[in-house]
């Protein structure tokens, strides 16, 4: 029996063991999707804290159900380990590690590289491997494949199969999860595509295959470049609209009545999260190799880079009308999550504004019902304060940085002395309410 036939037999009998490497907001939901279909999942992570949590049935990802995870661990469908040699038990490996940018906004490929070395060192013939981490086009073919082949001495397309399938996780999305979001899949070899589609189809409702990994890599970057560009566009227009006495939210709502050719984006203090602020710059990075300048991404990134500063200027202007400076003023931020109703503050613009306000001598505090404590780049750590009448009254300026659905606009407006609303939470601007 060929490697391929042997693997298909395991797929058909659901006798395969799946390894998920990286148990974060991408890997854990994927692990659950396989496990609920009665496939045995082995989770790998370098964090022994995460591994222990999972093995004790304790969830830490908001898109995963606590009960479901506990149940799957109890049924022994999911277990986790820090020991990467256990990859040898797996028939399929899904790489779901982060791909951050370094401090100079260049791709930090070290996570992928380290994992690929481990995968190569432990690779058994007949294994399917899929990279899910967002990265620049050509990564799978030109970066991942050579490392794995070198470390394993095995050959793609014969001894193992390599594919790329971008994660499309939208944290907090109640309608679309890993299971019901169509999955794009591109593989190096035809066999790899056939095998990958069969394996992913166990866990995910719909698989959209494409002709190569680089197409699949580009798909994810296009999706998030579209978002970065449109958010930066509307942010820039919002800043102009503010000068022209035009309520940009009223404009957007009216434009959204156009029944064709328009998608509404809303302004705010800048993009946040693990995808939109990062993914486009992966493409900008590889474009250089092709002597190509991506001016739209560059311009959008430039607008976004300045948003926190521009928001600080808005706060300064609002305080100035009351003859106050930021220095020694009490500034209360409402919401540090990068979008509403989630507990994720990665790359959140609120943190950058807090940093700048603190650097200017402001007394910073914040309230966020989803995030009890945060640390900003200066090292300062804050604990969420209660959102009470007295807390609002004590602040020289209340800055609304996230539009959590639980925020009571009337209550906030009533008890605050000065509000800078960056999220259209308060309907009308007034003497004490400044809008973005």
User: Which residues bind to a second copy, rule: CB under 8 A?
Assistant: 137-138, 168, 170, 173, 175-176, 181-182, 184, 206, 208, 210-212, 214-216, 218-219, 222-223, 225-227, 229-230, 232-233, 236-237, 239-241, 243-248, 250-252, 254-255, 257-263, 283, 286-287, 290, 292, 294-296, 298-300, 302-303
Cβ at position 118, least distance to a second copy in Å: 29
Cβ at position 300, least distance to a second copy in Å: 7
- The answer to whether the CB of 358 falls within 8 A of the CB of 332 is no
Given phi > 0 = left and psi -120 to 50 = alpha, else beta, which region is 260?
Answer: beta
Cβ at position 363, least distance to a second copy in Å: 32
CA angle 17, 22, 27 (to 5 degrees): 70
Of the pair 281, 333, the CB lying nearest a second copy is at 281
Cβ at position 428, least distance to a second copy in Å: 11
- Report the alpha-carbon distance of residue 208 to residue 196 in Å, rounded: 11
Candidates 90, 96, 275, 397; catalytic one: 275
Beta pairing, strands 183-187 & 160-164: antiparallel
Of the pair 85, 180, the CB lying nearest a second copy is at 180
Cβ at position 377, least distance to a second copy in Å: 26
Of the pair 19, 186, the CB lying nearest a second copy is at 186
Edge-to-edge strand order for the sheet containing 17-21?
A: 78-81, 40-44, 17-21, 92-95, 127-131, 160-164, 183-187, 207-210
Of the pair 269, 301, the CB lying nearest a second copy is at 301
Check the CA dihedral 219-63-340-94 and report its sign. negative
- Would you list the DSSP string of 363-421? EEEEE-TT-SEEE-TTS-EEEPPP--HHHHHH-SEEEE----TT--HHHHHHH-S-EEE
Residue 369, classified by CB atoms within 10 Å of its CB into exposed (0-12), middle (13-18) or buried (19+), is middle
* 275 part of the active site: yes
- The answer to whether the CB of 405 falls within 8 A of the CB of 382 is no
Given phi > 0 = left and psi -120 to 50 = alpha, else beta, which region is 134?
Answer: beta
Of the pair 172, 369, the CB lying nearest a second copy is at 172
Cβ at position 269, least distance to a second copy in Å: 17
- Would you list the DSSP string of 84-126? GGGGGG-SEEEE-----B-TTS-B-THHHHHHHHHHHHHPPTT
Question: What are the catalytic residues?
Answer: 275
């Amino acid at each position: 029996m060929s490697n391929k036939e042997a693997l298909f037999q395991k797929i058909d009998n659901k006798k395969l063991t799946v390894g998920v490497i990286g148990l974060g907001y991408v890997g854990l939901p994927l692990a659950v999707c396989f496990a609920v279909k009665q496939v045995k999942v082995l989770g790998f992570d370098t964090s022994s804290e995460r591994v222990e949590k999972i093995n004790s049935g304790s969830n830490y990802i908001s898109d995963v159900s606590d009960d479901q995870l506990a149940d799957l661990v109890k049924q022994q469908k999911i277990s986790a380990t820090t020991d990467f040699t256990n990859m040898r038990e797996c028939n399929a490996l899904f790489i779901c590690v982060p791909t951050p940018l370094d401090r100079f906004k260049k791709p930090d490929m070290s996570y992928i590289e380290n994992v690929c070395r481990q995968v190569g060192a432990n690779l058994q013939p007949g294994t399917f491997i899929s990279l899910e981490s967002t990265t620049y086009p050509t990564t799978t073919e030109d970066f991942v494949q050579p490392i794995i082949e070198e470390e394993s001495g095995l050959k793609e397309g014969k001894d193992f199969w390599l594919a790329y399938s971008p994660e499309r996780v939208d944290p907090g999305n109640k309608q679309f999860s890993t299971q019901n979001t169509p999955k794009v899949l591109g593989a190096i070899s035809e066999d790899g595509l056939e095998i990958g589609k069969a394996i992913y189809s166990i866990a995910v409702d719909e698989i959209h295959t494409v002709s190569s990994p680089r197409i699949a890599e580009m798909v994810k970057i296009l999706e998030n470049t579209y978002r970065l560009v449109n958010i930066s566009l509307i942010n820039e227009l919002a800043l102009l609209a503010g000068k022209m006495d035009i309520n940009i939210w009223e404009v957007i709502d009216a434009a959204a009545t156009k029944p064709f050719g328009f998608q509404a984006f809303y302004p705010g203090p800048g993009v946040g999260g693990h995808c939109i602020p990062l993914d486009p710059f992966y493409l900008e990075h590889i474009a250089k190799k092709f002597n190509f300048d991506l001016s739209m991404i560059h311009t959008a990134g430039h607008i976004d880079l300045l948003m926190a500063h521009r928001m600080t200027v808005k706060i300064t202007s609002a305080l100035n009308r009351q003859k106050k400076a930021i220095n020694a003023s009490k500034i209360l931020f409402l919401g540090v999550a990068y979008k509403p109703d989630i507990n994720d503050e990665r790359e959140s613009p609120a943190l950058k504004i807090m940093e700048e306000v603190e650097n200017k001598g402001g007394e910073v505090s914040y309230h966020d019902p989803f995030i009890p404590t945060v640390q900003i780049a200066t090292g300062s750590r804050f604990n969420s304060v209660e959102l009470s009448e007295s807390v609002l009254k004590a602040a020289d300026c209340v800055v609304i940085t996230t539009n959590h659905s639980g925020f009571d606009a009337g209550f906030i407006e009533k008890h605050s002395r000065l509000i800078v609303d960056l999220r259209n939470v308060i309907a009308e601007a007034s003497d004490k309410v400044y809008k973005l």
